[in-house]
Amino acid sequence: MPQATGKASAIHFEQQALIDEFGELDRQLQAFQPTAARHRVLREQIMAWAPDLLPAQATTFSSDLYDLHLTARQSERSIVSMPKVYKAIGKETFLSICSLSLKALEETLGKDRAEAHVAWNQSGPRKLVAVAKASPARATA
């Protein structure tokens, strides 16, 4: 396995093949983004055609080429009463298992006041960015 350094290093042939495959798949995914975005827009528009559908009901939208099945809503679990949970398990346990979203904190306190209760750590996910050295047509020729 190559050493992770800031400089380019010699990489084994098999690793180069994986890098090239990743880069090509990344290029294809980037090219597909407009199609995926249009799909999301159409999905939302079509789902809005049934605003009064009851949760247990399903329906079908049809065209000459496709039938689109809009299913019944899936079941989801949620906590009924946070105060009752707090009372049932006590303050210590409640605080140890409870989580609060930063968005909710900022919406409640305002962004500036919430910042006093937030720590920044460089602990988020890394990105792996493919940078083409040649056009796809040249690279495969």
The Cα 110–Cα 105 span in angstroms is 8
What six digits make up the tokens of 54? Answer: 């009851």
Which of the residue ranges 1-5, 75-79, 96-100, 123-127 would you say has the lowest mean pLDDT? Answer: 1-5
Would you state the pLDDT for residue 2? 53
Q: What is the pLDDT of residue 135?
A: 80
Structure confidence at residue 7 (pLDDT): 47
pLDDT category at 93 given cuts 50, 70, 90 is very high
Buried b (16+ CB within 10 A) or exposed e, 50-80: eeeeeeeeeeeeeeeeeeeeeeeeeeeeeee
Across all residues in the chain, what is the average pLDDT?
Answer: 90
What SS3 class is residue 113?
helix
Report the pLDDT averaged over residues 100-118.
95
Top pLDDT among 26 and 7 is at 26
Q: Are 59 and 53 in contact (CB under 8 A)?
A: yes
